[in-house]
A and B are shown apart, each in its own frame.
Chain A
Amino acid sequence: MKERNLFEKVWDAHAVGELSNGQTQLFVGRHLIHEVTSPQAFGMLREKNLPVLYPERTFATVDHIVPTNEVSEPYSDPLADAMIKELRKNCDDFGVTFFDVGTGKQGIVHVVGPEQGLTQPGMTIACGDSHTSTHGAFGAIAFGVGTSQVRDLLATQTLALSKLKVRRIEVNGKLSPGVYAKDVILHIIRLLGVNGGTGYAYEYGGSVFDSFSMEERMTACNMSIEGGARVGYVNPDQKTFDYLKGRNYSPQTNEWDQAVSRWMAFASDDNCGYDDRVEIDASDIVPTVTWGINPGQAIGIDQVIPDPDLAESSERASIEEAIDYMKLTPGAPIKGTPVDVAFIGSCTNGRLSDLEEVATRIDGHTVKEGIKAIVVPGSQVVSKLAEEKGLDQVFRKAGFEWRSAGCSMCLAMNPDKLIGDQLCASSSNRNFKGRQGSPTGRTMLMSPIMVAAAAVTGQVSDSREVFA
């Protein structure tokens, strides 16, 4: 048989047939839902009097609206309270497993899936959330869908989709100290553009991805969509299997070997074809910070903020708009920009290894006076493990607030919001206008360690200098 890449193999294995408009009816093995994009879908099912076809393939959690400093219900925000209750009712009515706040398993959907062992190689995974690409770190084809498609999934476990092309992105060499997975993906987005991936799945590989931990792979795959790619994945390898072994929903011991051989068979064949290839030299990647209003508007920590007058004419208007919104000075170094808030968390960088990495550096440092600094673990499991290791104490001692699990200030649908035009050093994934809850709030994306450096100094700083 012809050599195929992982995307093609997974696609072929899940294709139910061809639809009248030429699209594929694709079976989705795992469906994850949360409170924001699912209630309308359940509403549509009720309207049409349809059941959930395979309730055992859908799992729910609550993440976007949960307050992170208030545990008792009803929540003080009646809208948030209505949303969590609606999800509870929908899961009850339709027989869907819900990792509710009382289960110890609740958290951001893209943190929960992998840590419960629900995310496995060779699967198709969908969720009404664009950062579903995160699950691609395991060699799954995972993508975000809209609410009507959540309805389609609940009713038929399938979607009408057009096949994507595949771009292989290889990062080879060795990353310099202080350069993290977050910097790698910000670099890729900056290089290929925020819509460079439209119509593509990104396959990440090369020695840098080979040596990444599973959590680092998740950080990179998470932001594929910020480069326009709906899907991003890494081929499964021994690290993937080691991560999955023994998790709640992973195959049991007696099925393990068989599962591993099935998973390995999905990896891209040695001589398979790709629609495009990009090679990146790891030594070109530096600690990266966004200065603008989309994740592609990023520069190295030692660079200066772009000057629209020096830019190509096609770029000028976008740069002007961004600089104006961000209230920055063209040509000034980004290092030294004063910040007001520091946020460590989100489905990009809210996992245990992110918190551990920061905790080991921050010990002995304190958050600068006047800076609001918060740490929001990605899930209750992350939170518990971190607390067992005493990380919460390290953060608290340094002047960070230690919160409970959720999306929090990544999109500020809960009470954690920027105020006015506050500038936030953020480990999240989107710096869109108003993203962090204030219509004039400003976001700079960076790695968690760089957020910590900003918290300690009160300004955008090079973590390699601050934590030398």
Chain B
Amino acid sequence: MALEKISIVEGKGVYVPGNDIDTDRIIPARFMKCVTFDGLGEYLFYDVRFNEDGEKKDHSLNNPLFARASIMISDANFGCGSSREHAPQSLYRAGFRAIIAGNFAEIFFGNATNLGMPCVSVENEERKRLSELVEKQPDQNLTVDVAGLKVRFGELEIDCQLRKGARDSLLNGTWDPLDELLTHKESIDQTASSLGYV
């Protein structure tokens, strides 16, 4: 089945501030006791959104103004820590379709891209401007232009970065690589037999 070609993501934004937001924070380990990814969206950022009695804390994801957000803005080294795909899965299942940050941890970046969720990097100053505007105008749409490598919000247009391989696979609708990997069965077998180990 052909995958969607992702060249533009449009939606409301929400700013979740902080450098080094790790995957344990995005989805605490106790919610990974599951054999499917269903329902993970509910537990996104659980321990920073709720106190131990399950009451809501002050957090932008609890703010009704940003309840419809589908593009998350955060800071440097987003998604560091574990390789758990549960982290991008919980973002995706909570309705997010793109992430803007200073930069991304390697494994998170790959996992998110494989779900067709672009992760674009934006410089500090410009990200700061963007997040301030988004906080002031939560109803206005934000655009992540994967093809043009721009982020737009009203009058504001800023550059973003996205690694070529990831960008190409989003644009071409090949962000889930499995089908392409499967077509090279012969070369796979050749490599396997050239290795000298099983």
User: Which residues on A are within 8 Å of B, measured CB to CB?
Assistant: 13-17, 19-23, 25, 27, 29, 36-37, 39-40, 43, 48, 50, 53-54, 56-57, 64-65, 77, 79-80, 82-83, 86, 120, 123, 128-130, 132, 143-149, 151-152, 155-162, 194-195, 198-199, 225, 228, 230, 259, 262, 294, 317-318, 321, 411-413, 430, 432-435, 437, 439-440
| Given A160-B169, A194-B80, A433-B24, 9 new contacts (CB under 8 A) | A20-B169, A25-B187, A149-B114, A195-B20, A225-B107, A412-B29, A433-B48, A437-B29, A439-B47
List A contacts of B82 (CB < 8 A).
129-130, 144, 430
Which 3 A-B pairs have CB atoms at the shortest separation, nearest pair first? A146-B85, A146-B111, A144-B83
Indicate if the CB atoms of A152 and B110 lie closer than 8 Å.
no
**CA A413 – CA B18 in complex, angstroms?**
26
Does B2 interact with chain A (Cβ within 8 Å)? no
Indicate if the CB atoms of A39 and B191 lie closer than 8 Å.
no
Total residue contacts A-B, CB cutoff 8 A: 209
Tell whether A148 pairs with B182 under 8 Å between CB atoms, given A79-B34, A432-B25: no
Indicate if the CB atoms of A17 and B47 lie closer than 8 Å.
no
Indicate if the CB atoms of A22 and B77 lie closer than 8 Å.
no
Does B65 interact with chain A (Cβ within 8 Å)? no
Residue in B85, B176, B181 whose CB lies within 8 Å of A147: B85
Indicate if the CB atoms of A145 and B195 lie closer than 8 Å.
no
List A contacts of B19 (CB < 8 A).
317-318
Indicate if the CB atoms of B35 and A27 lie closer than 8 Å.
no
**CA A437 – CA B29 in complex, angstroms?**
8
Q: Which of B81, B169, B180 has the most CB of A within 10 A?
A: B81
Q: Which of A14, A23, A48 has the most CB of B within 10 A?
A: A23
Tell whether A198 pairs with B28 under 8 Å between CB atoms, given A36-B84, A79-B34: no
List A contacts of B176 (CB < 8 A).
148
**CA A151 – CA B85 in complex, angstroms?**
12
**CA A390 – CA B106 in complex, angstroms?**
43
Does B174 interact with chain A (Cβ within 8 Å)? yes
Tell whether A440 pairs with B30 under 8 Å between CB atoms, given A130-B82, A146-B114: no
For residues 150 through 194 of chain B, which have their beta carbon under 8 Å from a beta carbon of chain A?
A: 163-166, 168-169, 172, 174, 176-178, 180-182, 184-185, 187-188, 190-192, 194
Indicate if the CB atoms of A43 and B35 lie closer than 8 Å.
yes
Does B105 interact with chain A (Cβ within 8 Å)? yes
Q: Please name 8 pairs of A and B residues whose Cβ atoms are closer than 8 Å in the assembled complex, sorted by A.
A: A17-B184, A21-B174, A132-B83, A145-B107, A198-B106, A199-B106, A435-B24, A437-B30
Indicate if the CB atoms of B188 and A156 lie closer than 8 Å.
yes
Closest A residue to B169 by beta carbon equals A21
Indicate if the CB atoms of B188 and A27 lie closer than 8 Å.
yes
Tell whether A157 pairs with B192 under 8 Å between CB atoms, given A39-B36, A439-B52: yes
Indicate if the CB atoms of A411 and B29 lie closer than 8 Å.
yes
CB distance from A248 to the nearest CB of B (A): 14
Q: Which of B20, B164, B166, B180 has the most CB of A within 10 A?
A: B20
**CA A238 – CA B24 in complex, angstroms?**
38
**CA A83 – CA B89 in complex, angstroms?**
19
Does B64 interact with chain A (Cβ within 8 Å)? no
For residues 92 through 128 of chain B, which have their beta carbon under 8 Å from a beta carbon of chain A?
A: 103-107, 110-111, 114-115
**CA A284 – CA B41 in complex, angstroms?**
45
Tell whether A195 pairs with B77 under 8 Å between CB atoms, given A16-B187, A56-B198, A158-B181: yes
